[in-house]
Structure 1
Amino acid sequence: MSLSLSADKDTGVAVVTLDRPRKLNALDLATAGELAATWRELRFDDTVRAIVLTGAGPRAFCTGLDRDATVPQPGSPYMVDDPLERIGPKANDLWKPVIAAVNGMACGGAFYLLAESEFLVADPGATFFDPHTTYGMVSAYESMGMAQRMPYGEIARMALMGTAERVSAARAYEIGLVSEVTEPGGSLAASVERARVIASYPPEGVQGTVRAVWAAKEAARAHALAFAPHLVRLGNLPGDRQAELFAARTPDFRLR
């Protein structure tokens, strides 16, 4: 198992942890399936009323799709299989509040999870970036999801600058991506405490509010996502060229 789930029946709070620290909590296909199954399981557990999502270890919340994952694709230009399409709570029709406790790096495919969380709490050492363009890939699904959480100029800069820049927790707070920056190592505890408060309220009102807030941006997001497969198909370099670029890059970046 590369995912752990713990639940406190007294407080009504569950903690979902991405548990692949040696891989910087990157998502292979098995982990993606476990995430989808976990969200569906939590839909039916009425003792869980609020959820915290985090990553194991201090280095990363999640670094997106595992580079070693093999994703077969149909030959048709009209069909693109997105292996991370179903990893988020909303994609699995879960309308219980999810708080993301972000520790370390959150990049690329991690944005699927952040985009479907209600709000983010971050350690001061958390960083956010999108490596797609650096390696000849289109940032489509990721940017479309995060465009609902960040000002246009900020998400455009993050997507276009690739690995050359990382957004600090402090900057993420300034632009509204992060709602709270904790003391070092404190994001999980703070997130659990915020979840405990929310879980103490009547769940009907809480879940209705989650659904209402999501509905305010759902139409625009769905319209944008309809374009994503075509943009990915047209703009991505072949896998061997992506691998060459990945191998050639040095881990040099500017923190802002």
Structure 2
Amino acid sequence: MAPEVLYEVSDGVAIVTINRPEKRNALNLAACETLKECWRRIENDPDVRVGIVTGAGDKAFCAGFDITEKNVDGRPRTEDFTPRPGTSPATGKPLIAAVNGLAMAAGMALVEACDLCVAADHAWFSLPEVTLGIGLEPFVQSLWTLPQRMLFELLVTGDRLSAERAYQLGFVNRIAPGGDLMDTALELARTIAGNAPLVVLASKALIYGGQRAMGMDLALQAADRAFAPVSASADAKEGYRAWTEKRRPVWQGR
């Protein structure tokens, strides 16, 4: 398994750790591929009942894609990430995001791909794509996990959402002091792992099945239609160039 992601199992709980603290746990290609393998291992291991996903260190859960690796023709890519929640859940077993710091861009999408979220009190969330001119189609799941007006504010401002505010909105299940984060996540995971496994699996299937029945597939199609031209735009290329050159982008609206 690639060193970018660590995997361990204890007492029916798999712990997946993005191990790139020097890059704020940004996802490179190797990390993305290894995460997919972790989902398969969780799904196929009968001894695993619950998974926890976290980041190494205490500064970042995941800062999104490592843009220096993930670009095509000067623009970031999003298509190499884990399966989109709601259409192809990474695993039928419960996943808990243990958010130990910032979770932005694809890092917030990874939180969305999980079923529950435990956050350190200093953690925060952000969708900064609007500042880079790139698409946001992976965040359709947020239509079900955040109030519409708060989601719209995050999408069009790129502002931060604190752990406390996210908890008030129901996006975060539990908040813990930074030093107690993993203990809190493990306590929740072990509670779930100790319950009737068929009921747990059926409960997750109910949630995602209900989302699809209420229009998740159509929402994903609408997002693809809305953001496909954005991802191919001159502004998307300019956003990437500005980021690499450490300057403010000059938007042209095309």
Q: Would the TM-score normalized by the shorter structure come out above 0.5?
A: yes
Residue 61 of structure 2 aligns to a residue whose secondary structure is strand
5+ residue gaps in structure 1? 74-79, 251-256
**Contact kept in structure 1, 2:12 and 2:50, CA below 8 Å:** yes
Find the residue that maps to 1:101 and give its secondary structure. Answer: strand
Whether 1:70 and 2:70 are equivalent positions in the alignment is yes
Match of 1:61 in 2: 61
User: Among 224, 227, 232, which residue is 2:219 paired with?
Assistant: 224
State the one-letter code of the partner of 2:56.
Answer: A
Partner of 2:230: 235
Q: 1:36–1:89: 8 Å Cα contact kept in structure 2?
A: no
Determine the structure 2 residue equivalent to 1:136: 133
Q: 2:202 aligns with which of 204, 208, 217?
A: 208
Give 1:253's aligned residue.
none
Return the offset for 1:84. 1.3
Deviations, residues 134-159 of structure 1 (Å, cap 9, x unaligned): 111232222x1222210001111111
Task: Tell me, yes or no, if the aligned pair for 1:88 and 1:112 is still in contact at 8 Å.
Answer: no
The whole-number CA distance in structure 2 between the counterparts of 1:242 and 1:93 is 30
1:174-185 correspondence runs (5 A): 174-185=168-179
Deviation at 1:29, TM superposition (A): 1.5
CA distance in 1 between counterparts of 2:184 and 2:30 reads: 29
Cα distance, 1:31 vs structure 2: 1.1
Find out whether 1:104 has 2:98 as its counterpart.
no
Moved beyond 6 Å, runs of 4+: 87-90
Answer yes or no: is 1:36 the counterpart of 2:36: yes
- Structure 2 partner of 1:76: none
Q: Which residue of 1 aligns with 2:252?
A: none
The CA distance in 1 between the partners of 2:78 and 2:60, in whole Å, is: 26
Q: Distance in 1 between matches of 2:179 and 2:161?
A: 18
- How big is the shift at 1:231? 2.5
Deviation at 1:15, TM superposition (A): 0.6
Q: Please tell me the root mean square deviation across aligned C-alpha atoms, in Å.
A: 2.2
2:149 paired with 1:149: no
Q: Alpha-carbon deviations, 1:178-209, whole Å to 9, x = none?
A: 11111232222100111011101121111111
Change (3 A) 1:229 1:87: closer
Give 3-state SS (helix, strand or coil) of 1:40's partner.
Answer: helix
Work out the percentage of aligned pairs sharing the same amino acid.
Answer: 28
Count of residue correspondences: 239
Report the alpha carbon displacement of residue 175 of structure 1 after superposing the two structures with TM.
0.7
Letter in 2 for 1:58: D
